[in-house]
Structure 1
Amino acid sequence: MSVHELTRPLTLEWPAESLGNLPLALEQLHHWAQITPLQTALRHKRQGQWYAWRWIDALRDVERLADGLRQQGFDEQSRLALSGAFEPNLLLLALAAQSVGAPVLTLADDLPLEALQQQLWRIRPTHGYVQSRQQARHWQSIQRLDFAQLLGPIDPAQHVQRWWRPTGDTALWSEEGTHWQGGLAVVLEQWLSSGHGLAFPESPASARRDRSEVAPTGLLLSPSRLQHLADDIESRLAPLGTWRRRLCDWAIAHPQSGLRRVLKNRVRRLLGFQRLAYIWQPLKTSAEPTWLAEFKRDIA
């Protein structure tokens, strides 16, 4: 993970976009750090172990990062480009850049080399943050800095290496990255406006397992990722045309069926949705997959 220095006129088109101004973001971060300083704000699994940031830790990290950016010549005239999976470092760095007054851009993290180089030529960021070492080689830079160097000296005890779930604990969940158009703004707004903890998996490959360990109460996922979850459910059902599949379909179609409740509870546990109470979705959506529509009905 690194920040590089990269300069020219700004031309934005997807897969690049501006985070835009989140006027209440820093105010909300200060609010939760003052009201609930010791409650968990962020969770992230790294190398098989969960790490947690309290609200006061998140605020302090943003302030340290802002100081580190200024020391590297980052100011209101700079432009920070972010590319990668959503996780604490990326979110905190975005907030730090906004606190300095500089625009924050995102670039899809799944671009082939040629498209990546074209986008970098168009958006001309002065600084870039990219998680993949392989991708980082293609972000031509003047200077390459580690995230830890920006953060500066920090007490390891501030980052809790083990966490448990107290009664009534809420946890938003995201397994997305900058490939989700508009996603970073959604995640920051939902997290900071609600004051709920926000958790991230170690990798896309481990998302279902890590999600089950967290058992989130809310999902912050793109329509395509929700469809992926629906496809995951579909792949685990009996094949179409079999009597077991007909029984499943019949159970879902009959709300009073005891079998329907059994099936839904089994699917919830399988996906880590046993505590699910909220699914973020845009105002306009296409037809919802059957199982997700069922979960939303339960929530309502």
Structure 2
Amino acid sequence: MSVHELKRVLDVEWPAEWVTVLPKALEQLHHWAQVTPLHSALRHKRHGQWYAWRWIDALRDVERLADGLRQQGFTEYSRLALSGAFEPNLLLLALAAQSIGGQTLTLADDLEPGALHKQLWRIRPTHAYVQGRQQLQHWLAVAGSSAAPQLLISEQAAPRNDVLAFAQLLGPVDPAQRLNRWWQSSAETALWSEEGTHWQGGLAVVLEQWLGSGQNLAFPESRASARRDRSEVAPTGLLLSPARLQQLADEIESRLAPQGTWRRRLCDWAIAHPQSGLRRLIKNRVRRLLGFQRLQSIWQAPSNRHSTATPEWLAEFKREIA
């Protein structure tokens, strides 16, 4: 039995899962870094400002993170657990672990300490990456357990030997080099994600769509600021879970006049008549409100593409896109 087969014996069940769609990821990253090295690969809003990674920057960060992981004892026998919002640090760290040959898992980022402890006993990570302060506290609560990882990597600093700041793992980088002072061209496509490891299968989807297409991929500063940040980017493609798409549909519904009112009946009539100028006015207003003015595609799981349960407004957007 091979090393990888031995490591796969673990019984992993949701809310933990293996990240399996990574074999071609490194090859694709090298491809875009060679073909379009100075094009934008990633954007992330931090502390109110947009930061950008070019494809060559993304590749270099993966190489630096791989070196940092090796220095922290990560090998082909190691297992990295990722938990938190999807953003550049998490994606690039997953690729770095893959480049070493170690295993990568995701763990839902909304687990309470008791549930977290149970999952750690099951998946037994050697290294782990978490983001928020509260999430870090939950992980530290089980730090004394034999199921706890040898090293916890976090965006938050902690005065402990078993916690390493992500910046230390990456090494010195001047943040000003990534500050995006010039806005994107109106012709530039941009994928958008406002998800995290709570989306089952989500990391594989995001990596596959991003690296397969070579498009710029943008993330909000936080889930709370997602609508505002999305409006600033005006993405051309959405990479969202069915649950998040439903939330967007509910948000659209909440912005319309209440059911049964004359204003709502007028709105429904306008949407039902393609030739209506009022229809175009209403839809354009909704698009701008949600940052959908440039929207060209909405990713959906294969089993859901022909679902009749698709929210009406999103279904309308998809019909226009097709």
Q: Normalising by the residue count of structure 2, what TM-score does the alignment of the two structures yield?
A: 0.88
Indicate if the aligned counterparts of 1:62 and 1:93 stay in contact, CA closer than 8 A.
yes
- Unaligned stretches of 5+ in structure 2? 1-6, 144-148, 151-161
1:170 aligns with 2:192: no
Assess, with a 3 A threshold, how the Cα gap between structure 1 residues 201 and 98 changes in structure 2: closer, same or farther.
same
1:293 aligns with 2:284: no
Summarize the alignment of residues 82-161 of structure 1 with structure 2, pairs less than 5 Å apart: 82-139=82-139, 140=143, 141-142=149-150, 143-161=162-180
In structure 2, distance between residues paired with 1:157 and 1:33: 21
| TM-superposed deviation, 1:155 | 4.0
Q: Please tell me the residue identity of whatever aligns with 2:73.
A: G
In structure 2, distance between residues paired with 1:163 and 1:209: 19
Indicate if the aligned counterparts of 2:238 and 2:298 stay in contact, CA closer than 8 A.
yes
1:3-41 deviation digits (Å, cap 9, x = unpaired): xxxx9x732100000001411100110111111111110
Assess, with a 3 A threshold, how the Cα gap between structure 1 residues 234 and 21 changes in structure 2: closer, same or farther.
closer
Secondary structure of the residue aligned to 2:68 is helix
In structure 2, distance between residues paired with 1:155 and 1:214: 24
Indicate if the aligned counterparts of 1:217 and 1:276 stay in contact, CA closer than 8 A.
yes
| TM-superposed deviation, 1:157 | 4.7
| TM-superposed deviation, 1:162 | 2.5
Summarize the alignment of residues 274-289 of structure 1 with structure 2, pairs less than 5 Å apart: 274-285=293-304, 286=307, 287-289=309-311
1:3 maps to which residue? none
In structure 1, distance between residues paired with 2:270 and 2:175: 51
1:99-149 deviation digits (Å, cap 9, x = unpaired): 000110000001122111111111110000000222223322542111111
Secondary structure of the residue aligned to 2:173 is coil
Summarize the alignment of residues 11-22 of structure 1 with structure 2, pairs less than 5 Å apart: 11-22=11-22
In structure 2, distance between residues paired with 1:56 and 1:23: 20
Aligned length: 294
In structure 1, distance between residues paired with 2:126 and 2:37: 34
Indicate if the aligned counterparts of 1:51 and 1:163 stay in contact, CA closer than 8 A.
no
| TM-superposed deviation, 1:288 | 0.7
1:24 maps to which residue? 24
Indicate if the aligned counterparts of 1:50 and 1:163 stay in contact, CA closer than 8 A.
no
2:237 maps to which residue? 218
- Unaligned stretches of 5+ in structure 1? 1-6
What root-mean-square deviation, in Å, do the aligned CA atoms of Structure 1 and Structure 2 show?
1.5
1:31-87 deviation digits (Å, cap 9, x = unpaired): 111111111100000111111111100000000000110111100100000000000
Indicate if the aligned counterparts of 1:52 and 1:163 stay in contact, CA closer than 8 A.
no
Which of these residues, 234, 258, 265, is aligned with residue 253 of structure 2? Answer: 234
Q: Please tell me the residue identity of whatever aligns with 2:261.
A: T
In structure 2, distance between residues paired with 1:297 and 1:99: 40
1:47 aligns with 2:59: no
Indicate if the aligned counterparts of 1:173 and 1:200 stay in contact, CA closer than 8 A.
yes
Indicate if the aligned counterparts of 2:49 and 2:179 stay in contact, CA closer than 8 A.
no
Indicate if the aligned counterparts of 2:28 and 2:212 stay in contact, CA closer than 8 A.
yes
| TM-superposed deviation, 1:163 | 3.6
In structure 2, distance between residues paired with 1:261 and 1:97: 48
In structure 2, distance between residues paired with 1:96 and 1:111: 25
Q: Please tell me the residue identity of whatever aligns with 2:38.
A: L
In structure 2, distance between residues paired with 1:108 and 1:163: 35
In structure 1, distance between residues paired with 2:33 and 2:246: 35
Indicate if the aligned counterparts of 1:53 and 1:160 stay in contact, CA closer than 8 A.
no
Q: Please tell me the residue identity of whatever aligns with 1:51.
A: Y
Summarize the alignment of residues 199-214 of structure 1 with structure 2, pairs less than 5 Å apart: 199-214=218-233
| TM-superposed deviation, 1:253 | 1.2
Q: Please tell me the residue identity of whatever aligns with 1:294.
A: E
Secondary structure of the residue aligned to 1:84 is coil
Share of identical aligned residues, percent?
Answer: 79
Secondary structure of the residue aligned to 2:53 is strand
Indicate if the aligned counterparts of 1:33 and 1:55 stay in contact, CA closer than 8 A.
yes
Secondary structure of the residue aligned to 1:37 is coil
1:234-256 deviation digits (Å, cap 9, x = unpaired): 00100000000001111111122
In structure 1, distance between residues paired with 2:66 and 2:77: 14
Q: Which protein, 1 or 2, shows the higher relative CO under an 8 Å CA cutoff with sep ≥ 6? A: 1
Q: Please tell me the residue identity of whatever aligns with 1:182.
A: G
